[in-house]
């Protein structure tokens, strides 16, 4: 009975199909009401996504809208009253101005009560309260979300991923360091083995070099005396002469019959088996002479030793007199042959010996019918073959030079290896423990 006495709107049976709205005292009862407004539907959905119940959003919207409508009605009434007052009091005395002013003030207060920003119940204040409340709820929800320790907190997932990435990075770092240590140890073992092998090789080379130096010292001592190359040439000539029945005399330090010490080795053809059939003088030189000096040396030597032919033996092609050729006969009684300084006992010396002996024999037995063309052709063939042999010898000499260069490179490589080993030890000593 008490409920029925409260003020309420009558039921609208004609609009029941479209929903009904009842105002009961200070409450609204809405049943089956459908509002076709896209903006309202969007606001309800967005508020629901933020955690507000749709009924709360609709109720708040109705409250705000009702105050706006009420304010609009108040503003319309104020305009109406103002127009009526202005129309009625247009001719009134100025005495009523104060009364109208008081009425205007009262109306202004009523308007301000609805729309004044500083009034607690104004529309602006209600909107501000709604926004502040929503902001506070959002802040609280975000704080709660970021403070959670379960999977709902996005920071937990981020921390988990970062922790996993850090662990994986640490594991890769440990594996890489282990690999580097193993590679370093392997490289060090290989380098130590290589150094050991090189050390053995270096020891062999040093021993060989020391032997070469001792030989070089002995040769230098002999060179200072002026007999080393000369003695080697004499020994080679002595071997050739012995095989042919000739005699070879080392006359480099002996006074000649004609005076002076011209000529280093004198060959007497056939003297080992009977009277000498002719003499050949060999002059060994370890320095370069000019062509005039060479001819003067040989001519004086032949005159002093009573020789019919003279051969100038020089230590290498580079010591040949200018404008002269190897094994070429000059002035009918002179010839020049270059030999290896370290090994003069070769084919070139024997070819020069035999050509000189043949020329002496032909000059002695002029009545003999000798085929000069055949002799010349045969001599040229021998000289050609000798040049080929010398080319081969030069190739072998080049191989020896390359070997010497390789030995020098090996020494430099060994020194570089030592420097790198010292670098490795320095890196190990300066490394900090993990």
Task: Give the confidence band of 224 by pLDDT, cuts at 50, 70, 90.
Answer: very low
- Select the more confidently predicted residue: 320 or 35: 320
Burial label for 336, CB within 10 Å (0-12, 13-18, 19+), is buried
Tell me how far CA of residue 38 lies from CA of 41, 49, 58, 352, in angstroms. 5, 17, 14, 125
Tell me how far CA of residue 427 lies from CA of 34, 421, 430, 431, 434, in angstroms. 84, 10, 5, 6, 15
Look at the chain and count its residues: 434
Q: Report whether pLDDT(222) > 50.
A: no
Q: Report whether pLDDT(321) > 90.
A: yes
Any idea which residue has 């380098």 for tokens?
A: 191
User: 34-48, 82-96, 114-128, 257-271: which range is least confident on average?
Assistant: 82-96
The pLDDT assigned to 353 comes to: 92
Task: Give the confidence band of 309 by pLDDT, cuts at 50, 70, 90.
Answer: very high
Percent of the chain with pLDDT over 90: 17
Any idea which residue has 């921390």 for tokens?
A: 159
Q: Report whether pLDDT(52) > 80.
A: yes
Q: Report whether pLDDT(23) > 70.
A: yes
The dihedral built from the CA positions of residue 282, 283, 284 and 289, taken in this order, carries a sign that is negative
- Select the more confidently predicted residue: 243 or 21: 243
Read out DSSP for 197-208?
A: HHHHHHHHHHHH
Which domains does the chain carry? Answer: 35-147 (no CATH), 226-370 (3.40.1340)
In this structure, the number of other CB atoms found within 10 A of the CB of residue 387 comes to: 13
The pLDDT assigned to 360 comes to: 86
Question: Which candidate, 374, 318, 316, 328, places its Cα nearest to that of 352?
Answer: 328
- Helix H segments across 282-371? 291-305, 347-364
- Select the more confidently predicted residue: 154 or 11: 154
Q: What is the mean pLDDT of the chain?
A: 75
Task: Give the confidence band of 1 by pLDDT, cuts at 50, 70, 90.
Answer: very low
The pLDDT assigned to 333 comes to: 92
Q: Report whether pLDDT(196) > 50.
A: yes
pTM, 2 dp = 0.39
Joined together, the tokens standing for residue 144 give 């709660």
User: 4-13, 224-233, 240-249, 388-397: which range is least confident on average?
Assistant: 4-13
Q: Report whether pLDDT(384) > 70.
A: no
Q: Is 268 in contact with 257 (CB distance < 8 Å)?
A: no
The pLDDT assigned to 225 comes to: 47
User: Rounded distance, CA 236 to CA 147, Å?
Assistant: 107
At residue 319, φ and ψ (nearest 5 deg) are -100, 10
Q: Is 109 in contact with 53 (CB distance < 8 Å)?
A: no
The pLDDT assigned to 85 comes to: 54
At residue 337, φ and ψ (nearest 5 deg) are -135, 125
The dihedral built from the CA positions of residue 33, 38, 44 and 45, taken in this order, carries a sign that is positive
Q: What is the pLDDT of residues 105-130, one digit of tens each?
A: 666 666 666 555 566 666 667 777 78
Percent of the chain with pLDDT over 70: 61
Three-state SS for 363?
A: helix
- Most confident range (mean pLDDT) of 35-44, 64-73, 127-136, 201-210 is 35-44
Burial label for 25, CB within 10 Å (0-12, 13-18, 19+), is exposed
Strand partners, 312: 283, 336
- Helix H segments across 116-257? 123-147, 154-225, 228-244
Task: Give the confidence band of 338 by pLDDT, cuts at 50, 70, 90.
Answer: very high
The pLDDT assigned to 122 comes to: 62
Q: Is 329 in contact with 299 (CB distance < 8 Å)?
A: no
Tell me how far CA of residue 274 lies from CA of 247, 358, 401, in angstroms. 10, 18, 47
Long-range contacts of 409-417 (CB under 8 A, 24+ apart): 410/198, 410/201, 410/202, 410/205, 411/202, 411/205, 413/198, 414/195, 414/198, 414/199, 414/202, 417/191, 417/194, 417/195, 417/198
Any idea which residue has 């509002």 for tokens?
A: 35
Tell me how many degrees the CA angle 332-370-236 measures, rounded to the nearest 5: 55
User: Rounded distance, CA 11 to CA 20, Å?
Assistant: 7
């Amino acid at each position: 009975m008490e409920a029925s006495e409260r003020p309420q709107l009558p039921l609208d049976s004609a609009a029941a199909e479209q929903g009904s709205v009842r105002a009961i005292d200070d409450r609204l009862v809405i049943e089956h009401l459908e509002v076709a407004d896209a903006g309202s539907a969007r606001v309800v959905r967005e508020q629901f996504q933020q955690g507000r119940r749709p009924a709360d959003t609709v109720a708040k919207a109705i409250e705000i809208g009702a105050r706006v409508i009420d304010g609009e009605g108040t503003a319309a009434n104020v305009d109406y009253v103002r127009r009526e007052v202005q129309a009625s009091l247009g001719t009134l005395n100025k005495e009523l101005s104060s009364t109208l002013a008081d009425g205007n003030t009262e109306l202004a207060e009523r308007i301000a009560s609805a729309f004044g920003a500083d009034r607690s119940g104004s529309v602006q204040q209600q909107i501000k309260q709604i926004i502040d409340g929503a902001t506070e709820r959002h802040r609280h929800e975000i704080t709660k979300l970021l403070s959670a320790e379960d999977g709902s907190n996005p920071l937990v997932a981020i921390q988990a991923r970062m922790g996993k990435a850090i662990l994986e990075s640490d594991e890769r770092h440990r594996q890489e360091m282990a690999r580097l240590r193993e590679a370093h140890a392997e490289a060090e073992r290989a380098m130590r083995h290589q150094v050991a092998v090189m050390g053995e090789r270096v020891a062999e080379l040093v021993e060989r070099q020391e032997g070469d130096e001792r030989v070089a010292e002995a040769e230098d001592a002999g060179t200072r005396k002026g007999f080393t190359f000369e003695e080697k040439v004499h020994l080679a000539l002595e071997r050739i002469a012995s095989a042919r029945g000739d005699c070879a005399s080392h006359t480099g330090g002996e006074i000649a019959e004609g005076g002076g010490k011209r000529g280093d080795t004198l060959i007497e053809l056939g003297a080992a088996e009977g009277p000498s059939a002719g003499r050949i003088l060999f002059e060994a030189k370890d320095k370069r002479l000019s062509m005039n000096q060479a001819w003067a040396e040989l001519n004086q030597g032949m005159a002093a030793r009573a020789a019919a032919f003279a051969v100038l033996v020089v230590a290498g092609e580079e010591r040949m007199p200018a404008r002269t050729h190897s094994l070429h006969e000059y002035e009918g009684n002179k010839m020049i042959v270059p030999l290896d300084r370290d090994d003069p006992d070769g084919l070139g010396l024997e070819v020069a010996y035999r050509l000189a002996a043949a020329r002496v024999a032909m000059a002695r037995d002029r009545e003999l019918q000798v085929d000069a063309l055949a002799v010349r052709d045969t001599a040229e063939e021998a000289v050609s073959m000798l040049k080929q042999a010398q080319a081969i010898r030069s190739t072998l000499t080049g191989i020896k030079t390359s070997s010497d260069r390789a030995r020098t490179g090996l020494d430099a490589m060994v020194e570089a290896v030592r420097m790198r080993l010292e670098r490795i030890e320095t890196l190990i000593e300066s490394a900090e423990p993990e």
